[in-house]
Structure 1
Amino acid sequence: MIERVKLKNWKSHHETKLEFDEGVNALIGTMGSGKSSVMEAVVFAFYGTTPSHNSRDITLDDLIRRNPSQADKAIVEIEFRIGKESYSVRREIERDKGTTHSELRKEGELIEAPSTREVTEQVEKLLGLNFKAFSRAIYSEQNNLDLFLNMRPGTRKKRIDELLDIDRFEDARKNTVKVENNMKKELENRQEALGELEDEIDEEELEELEKEIESKKERIEKLQESLEEREKKLENRNKELKELEDKKEEVEQLEEKKTKLETKKQSIQERINEAEEKIEGIEDPERELEKNRKQKEKLEDKNEKLGKLREKKKYLEKHTEEIGEEIEQLEEEAEEFEKFEELEEELEELEEKTDKIKKKGNSYYAERTNLEESLKTLKETDGDCPTCGQEMDKEHREKVVSERKQKIQELKQKEKELRQKLEDKDERKEKVVEKRDELLEYKSSEDKLKEEREELEEKKEKLQDIVEEVEKLGEEFSEEKLEELEKKIDQLESVEEIRELEEKKEHIEEKLEETAEELEDIDFDEEKLETLRDEISELKEKRSAEKQELKSDKEIVEEKEKRLEQMQSQVEKKHELEKEVEKLDQVLDYVYSYKTALKETQIELRQKFVARLNDLMDDIWTQVYPYNDYYSIRLNVEEDYLVEILDSDNNWISAEAEVSGGERHSAALVMRLALSFTISPKIQLLMLDEPTHNMDSAAVEKLAETLRQNSDNLLKQMFIVTHDIALESAATGKLYRLEKKNTETGLTEVEEVN
């Protein structure tokens, strides 16, 4: 049972909290008041998607509130109970990022987060339903109460099989047949390959090759030992060389560092001299600098405020102009609605012309297809001409083929011209429909015109206030004052520059002393470095010769091992093929048994489900249908799930064609309730959005009375979302009224009635 729903920035809901009880809970409101959004939020909380989002009609960003200002995040949270245990699901959507957090709690303790997929999997296990089953059996979208009743019997059977996952058995059986055929073909291939391998394998050659490889490997081992000793000696010499080269590099780096420091010291002294010249003659330059900076800051604040006011003035002027243009347009629109009937007539005429073009195009297509088929036949014919009966010589064939090709090209051109005409008509239809829809909105132009005029007066008053404030600030600020201050500040900042440069100069002098000391401490011998380089060069030449000899032997071994590996692979492959042939024989026997079992299981499951469903529908029918002219309802398995009602003469008649609208709605409600009982026994829940579509007032009152009196016996909890206030009396749980009182904000307001 669903106990609470909390919405934040969800569609038209800013912050909405709803509590629900057992029995019938009703959400009443006009179209677009945000009542269906509550049910969509329940589905989203459970499964991380909604029917509209799952069918790609909307994106997740469309679920985040846009008015009166665009929100960046939406949060949905529901609390529900299964048996004696309480659970809650919370999901968060961020704009342009999708679902960024999901969590599931049991008795307040976190049991899964933050993965959307893993939370959804846990919810599916708790409810015993996946999204597809919930959205078809539990949640009836707007005007879809009789969804299952309106389906063709065959389609209904397919959809109910999908709800129960029975369709997977048929898919599995078809796949099993494919697997069986593929395995038979694979078995034949394996047996053929096994015979070829037995002819290719030579045992004597295999043994000789193994001996040759062993001999070469012993020689390689000795060469590697010699090479390792030389490598160790070379490694030690390289370490000595590296130490000497590092010392040489260190000396060179220190000399270079010393030169750079001296150059940098000289450059800093020159900059100090230049800076002192700039402030020469100024008494207390630091105090003067602080004073000028404060004056500049005040001028910049005024300039910034002036800029903002000018932008606001520009915006209001533009907005005032736009409102004026919209007022003129609204005055014109009020006169436009008279053209509505003319557009309807033009639309009907366009539909008739479009149908004629399509029929003519289909005729051309059929004629061209026949000609193309006959052209293929003509090219393959050796005897008499199939058209005129003459002897089919080369000249006659070329003539007939040429004539038909020409005719085909003519037909293609005609088809192309018709397609262009059709596109033109479709484009005109779109424009007419668009214009017609616009005209429907013109009815409200007079009220909107009054609002726009009031808004125009308000904007003009604000604009006048801003103009006065701009004039006042303009007298206090000038670019010349600011520019003069900036020049003074730039000159006075030299005092700070001198202080920084003196510190840098002192630091460089310290570095110069450190560098001189480091140079004195380094012990380096250039002659020893050259001697060591000669010795290393000689060691590398000897090592290179041994490596070449080792490489040659390894290549020989590698080639022989490749051949050995190929031969061993053939032997191994032979053994594997023998095992695979035996295993394939066994698996084929199992696949046949499995295929048979799948078909029998599918039939048995369907029969058991329909029997259970019919028992439930029979029990519910007497509680929902108040009259004595029909006594029961069932799904006829033998007629592809045809829905039938038992009349007073004890005859089963079709509920899809032979009964009134009210009886059809009763049958649709009974099917929904029975499916909910059968598919989701854990939660016993049904959600009906606009269930009174196409029902007259008497039928609506009867539905309300039935739900009010029998809801406790029918289902643990039910939700009704409707604009029809007559269904308020059906509520035995919570009753809420939803509306958008403030059209400017577009936010849903909720009032609890009981």
Structure 2
Amino acid sequence: MRFERVRLSNFKCYDDADLRLDRGVTVIHGLNGSGKSSLLEACFFALYGSKGLDNNLGDVVTIGADDTEVELWFAHGGKSYHVERRVRATGDQPTTAKCVLEAPDATVEGARDVRAYVQELLRMDAEAFVNCAYVRQGEVNKLINASPSQRQDMLDSLLQLGKLEDYRERASDARVGVGRVRDDKRGALSQLDEQIETKEDKELHARLNDLRTEHEEVSGEIDRFDEQREKAVETRDRAVEILESYEEKREELAALESDVEDLREQISETERDREELADEIGERRETRTARREELGSLLPETDLDGDAEDPPNAEAVDQRLDALGDREDELREELNDVTSAVTEYSTTAENLRETADDLDAQAEDKREQADDLESDVAETREALADRREKIDELGERIETLEAEFDDAPVEFGAADSFREEVADELSEVRETVAGLESDVENQRETIEEAEALLDAGKCPECGQDVDGSPHVETIDDDRERLAELEAELESAHERQSDLEDRLDSAEELAEIESEVQECRTNRSNVEQLVEQREATVEEKVEQAERLREEADEHESEAADKREAAGEHEDEADESRERVGEINGELATIREDRERLERVEDLLDAIADATDAIERLRERRDHLEETNDERRERLVEKRERRSNLQEEFDEGRIEQAREQRETASDYVEKADAKLESLRERRDELQSAIGGVENEIEELETLRERREALAERVEWLDSLYEETEQLQRMYGDLRAELRQRNVESLQAMLNEIFDLVYQNDSYARIELSGDYELTVYQKDGEPLDPEQLSGGERALFNLSLRCAIYRLLAEGIEGAAPMPPLILDEPTVFLDSGHVSQLVELVEAMREYGVEQILVVSHDEELVGAADDLVRVEKDSTTNRSTVVREEPEDRLLEVVGADD
């Protein structure tokens, strides 16, 4: 596996960064705190998301930003992949807004799915990645400080031996489960045996034969009773038919009696109705006579021809009404026109008066506006005098401020450039101070460690006894170097203090320049305002004169409007007189119309009365015909009643009643007996079914027992197989662990011998329980924690590299290993051990590690790199940037600095 490119947006201290990574050794260098480690954390976060972070998800978002975005391009197994993650921090909790991995064969979306895909692709989760390939800052001693059991868990997980333990535990769980199921099945088999024995003791087949015999006897008796009952039912039904026939005739006779009585009543009632109709005909005739008399008295008041005996026809009345209607329409149309004229004249007069009032008001407003303008002109002229005084004051202030530059180190106008130059120089001095402070601290730690070894009688360089050692005098060189560094640091502090004072002075000069510019701008603005106000004064004077002229014109026009309004009011009065004449003529027409409508109503009432009399006569004649028909039906029903009375035979009726009672009693008794027999037959049938079911259950139990016995036998065999499988996984894990321990020990000794070339130590031993022991040349064993700080750090780096190499060679390229990442590996190393670390990195490259990424500011590591990446942080914005360098250019810088 190889990282190819990483792009950041608002990630921790980076606004935007885009870095390409190549094969070989890449060293990322820069000052402490510049953000070097954040580049590697971004790659790790791109692969594993929140699982690759030590802190909250929101900590990756740049302070002040709403979201962050990380993209990583990497190659794995000869194929290219691209993963993109975006975190949004606008709500209460930071959330993953986007997570997409583009693979050659699929596109995976979602944080969990992407992480699962990466884990399957690399065959390791985030923790395994850290333990194997990612030596993070401050964790260089993680493996050596771990207990043997913790170290065993780490290595077993990396070598995937933990899966064998999972398989062994699964086999154990399966064995326990099989045993539990086998015991359950044995218990069920015992229960089946008891159930089968209980059913066999009941002699079910003999009992079934007895029940079937009794069932046949009861069924035969039921058939005999059914036959006798049917005969009794036939006798009862014949008697019932005779009685029902006589009952129908009795009901018909009663109905005839009722019909005869109803007909008599209907005839009497109809005769009474005929008498009432005769009375109503008389009333209608009296009403018609009264209407004719009223018509005779009303006709002379109209223009119609005729009298009460010979009235006018309806057509003549309609013609007269139509004539009156036409005249009324003409008058109403003229009335509408005259009324509209009155409204129009009145409205026009009112509008003219309102217009005149409005013109007077406008004239008054314009005079008021002219007065206001003249007042504004006076006030403006006073303000202009004040503005001119302000212009003079600003000129004096500008001259005073410019005089501040007479004794300044720069001319007026160059203060900003001067301030930037001082700030840049101060930033460089501060970086120098930070580097010197780091060097002083490292040098002090080296001297303290050397002094501790000297106190113990050991050489600080090689760890041998001090007596006769050629390296004892190096501690004095280190102390001289420390004194030089402290002197340089003190000088740098003084230079820094002087530059800070110069920066304060430069900022004051820049503020003076800014104030001068502001004063000049204000003076220019005031001068322009004075010019504008002077022009405005003249315009207001002319405008006041125009307003007074327009006021005079409005007053003259208002007088003309009032004169025209009086003329329109006179015309409105003439139209009102014509309205009164038209209303009088309409009242006369309305009276004539009402008399004619009454004549029309009387003619209609006379005609209606004549029609009603004719209808009543027809109805009275119809009632007479109806009564004649009823009298004929009454004679027929009386004859039918006499015939039915002659057909009744009381003796035959009594005989039919006796036969019905006798047959009904027998049927009732037979039904009771049959019910009892049927209940017994049903009981026998149910008992037969129950015995048959028990026989079937017995057969089923025997079949289940046979199948269950075979199942128990199979479970016994399966239990033995799971025991064997459990033992096999345990033995296999122990064997593979021993093989890996032997391989890891050989690789560890090979790497440690290569990078730690001295005569102090003979070999390193790794036990089967993952305990580490270092043997000196004299055979004395040492715990790794007894080594010096630098030796212990180098020992741990060798162990991590050996583990990486074991994994890479063990999987034979099936899952290419991730890049080997070393984050600040020189924290605990002195200058001599750094050289050995360089040899370790070179050895890992020779072993075939395709890509090695190192974060360090050590110059020796920088010089050994194939590619260099420099990280710089802006002290003003506190934001970092990434720059790729050519190793040759960086080497020239180092040589130049040494000269």
Q: Shorter-chain TM-score: what band?
A: 0.3 to 0.5
TM-score (norm 2): 0.40
> Which has the greater radius of gyration?
2
TM value normalised by structure 1: 0.47
